[in-house]
A and B are shown apart, each in its own frame.
Chain A
Amino acid sequence: MKRFTYVRAVSIDQAIESLSVHPDAKLLAGGTNLVDLMKYDVATPTTIIDINDLPLREISETADGGLRIGALVTNSDVAVHPSVARHYPLLASAILAGASAQLRNAATVAGNLMQRTRCSYFYDVLTPCNKRAPGSGCPARPGLNRNHAILGASELCVATHPSDMCVALAAIGATIIVQGPNGLRAIPLADFHRLPGDAPEKDTTLFGNEVILGIELPPVLEHHRYSYLKIRDRLSYAFAIVSAAVWLTIDDEAAISTAQIALGGVAHKPWRNTAAEALLIGRPASRVNFEQFASMLLSGAVALSENDFKIDLARRTVVRALEQAASRTPQSQSDKRIH
């Protein structure tokens, strides 16, 4: 771990100011990913700004009937909050599909948004990695890439975003509220994480001196149907190979009236295709339509040397999650049978 200066921010303004003064500073919240990365010398901030005293632990209703969740609310507290459990069960389910109870008790909403890839080259400072050390190369492309990206990857980076929570937020259509020196900014989740392109070292569109204040969930979607289906290498406590978050409504004529679907584990960000979603609207919630949608969602997928199976698996996972949502039998995160 690189030596660093530890400071504790007493206000949001002060945290922003500190970030401006120390460009390589990192904000510390739950620490479950940052401390992990610092121990591996992957993250080497010279300053740590501890934001745990900031007043960002509230969950409250927004004026338009949505929900605002403070940046420092723990993942566990989000998952068990009555409003989340009732109105956004997809979010609760996705959070409970991730990590372990211990990690969820410490990890925060903002930290989860800022989670970095679990690519094993990124984590190993004795190997090259364009995300960690820009320009050093990507050994995953010719090497071990069984669980790397099939969508939106670049020549420089094939890493995936590891979060479950963010996949649900992408499907629900959350907005990230951030504050910088020039005031507040609202970033739709879809625009928050970025594709690697020619700057894989940048995970998000957040500026270096901005602080996440929280997330806003859109107004409650009446009669929602949902499922979060996660496929992984063991039945718990593992990152996704593929996951699908489905947020759906079906009208009285049995036609799909809302279709918001995101994929996890397949790209540098939660993956959505709104054009494909639009084609589902007004159509019956049938397997054939789901399969057609899934094919379109995966249409741009490109396999690396070891992860060809993920394309088909992602397709099947989306179809199943859609079926689960449509039939109001969302995937349980403790009963591992997949209905």
Chain B
Amino acid sequence: MAAAPNTAHRVAYTINGVIRVATVEPGVTLLDLLREEFDLTGTKKGCDHGQCGACTVLMNGHRINSCLVLAVSRSGSVVTTIEGIGTSDGLHPLQEAFVKHDALQCGYCTPGQICSAIGLISEGTAKTRDEIREGMSGNLCRCGAYTGIVDAIEEVMAAVSDAESLP
């Protein structure tokens, strides 16, 4: 169990369906691993302390702040980043709705907002606008696109529940 400080560790993640391996020092976060090592820069660094949500990814299906995860700790996890949402030729319904409702301006918080919204919808607890607002409050947007973000999510949630209620 003993190891020298900063010994590099082998980690493996399934990222957007692809197994990616890397050798990391223990102080490397999942966020920095994604951005610097795997060049998946769609996941953003906005505060690096879990206070803005720009780094939100889905880990094993749950939205989390990747800036506060030591990469070495969660090796083996399945991670979805914004690059894994939508297909090469088509946008995910939430991505489409974000464009349609102009739920973004500078775009920097947007990947985190979308990953967070996917998490919110799959959690299934938010139904009302108040609940969407509260559920999305872990994603700050300095451009102030919140009303568009809520509109976009509300629209996609309605479509999802319509689809579920089909016979």
Q: Measuring CB to CB, which residues of chain A are less than 8 angstroms from any residue of chain B?
A: 1, 3-8, 14, 18, 28, 30-32, 35-36, 38-40, 46, 48, 50, 52, 76, 80, 99-103, 105-106, 235-237, 332-336
Contact = CB atoms under 8 A, between A and B. Distances in A.
B135 interface: yes
A101 B69 CA distance: 15
Contacts of A100: 50, 53, 137-139
A102 B73 contact: no
Which 10 residue pairs of A and B lie closest in terms of their CB atoms, listed nearest first?
Answer: A100-B138, A236-B137, A6-B26, A334-B134, A105-B62, A334-B131, A3-B5, A237-B137, A3-B6, A334-B130
Nearest to B57: A102
A272 to B, nearest CB: 28
A101 B68 contact: no
B70 A35 contact: yes
Contact of B72 (A6, A36, A235): A6
A18 B134 contact: no
Interface of B: 1-7, 9, 26-27, 29, 48-50, 53, 56, 62-65, 68-70, 72-74, 116, 119-120, 123, 125-126, 128, 130-131, 133-135, 137-140
B6 A105 contact: no
B50 to A, nearest CB: 6
Question: In this complex, which of A48, A105, A236 has the most chain B Cβ atoms within 10 angstroms of its Cβ?
Answer: A105
A3 B27 contact: yes
Contacts of A6: 3, 7, 9, 26, 70, 72
A336 B130 contact: yes
B50 A103 contact: yes
Contacts of A40: 49
Given A7-B1, A35-B29, A334 B128 contact: yes
Nearest to A18: B1
A5 B4 contact: yes
B31 to A, nearest CB: 10
A4 B27 contact: yes
Contacts of A28: 70, 73
